[in-house]
Amino acid sequence: MDHTRVVYVDIGGQRYAIRSHLEQAYIAELAAVVDAKMQLAARESPQGDSLKIAVLAALNIADEWFRARDEDTARRTSLSHRAEELERMLDLALASAEPEAADPGSSLARTAGSF
């Protein structure tokens, strides 16, 4: 079953019909972000035509996306390094505890043998 719908949005003073499977509210939110970026680009380049303004807005959106992607990559890398360090510390702690459990003179062996 095809759930494609047409959602109408206004961007840069123009009305667009967007055919999508996405939720209407989500499409409206995307359009609002694009419209805001185009308004910002128009303020920064008042003599620019609509194509130039759209390109400037697209560059700003791409810049934000790249920065968010890079921050996410850095966060994942940091978490991965922290997990590796915790794993190393756990391995060391377990390795140092093993000889005690195997030692017949340890308190664990004496307790187990006293039943």
Residue 114 DSSP one-character state? T
DSSP H helices, the chain, are 24-44, 50-102, 107-113
Kindly state the tokens that stand for 35.
């419209």
The answer as to whether 115 is a domain residue is no
Q: What single-letter amino acid sits at 76?
A: R
The answer as to whether 106 is a domain residue is no
Q: What is d(CA 66, CA 70) in angstroms, rounded to the nearest whole number? A: 6
Mention every residue, 6+ apart, whose C-beta is less than 8 A from residue 13.
Answer: none
The answer as to whether 51 is a domain residue is yes
Domain holding 45, by residue range, is 5-98
Predicted confidence (pLDDT) per residue in 59-95, tens digit: 999 999 999 999 999 999 999 999 999 999 998 999 8
Q: What single-letter amino acid sits at 16?
A: Y
**Number of domain units in the chain:** 1
The answer as to whether 109 is a domain residue is no
Predicted confidence (pLDDT) per residue in 29-44, tens digit: 999 999 999 999 999 9
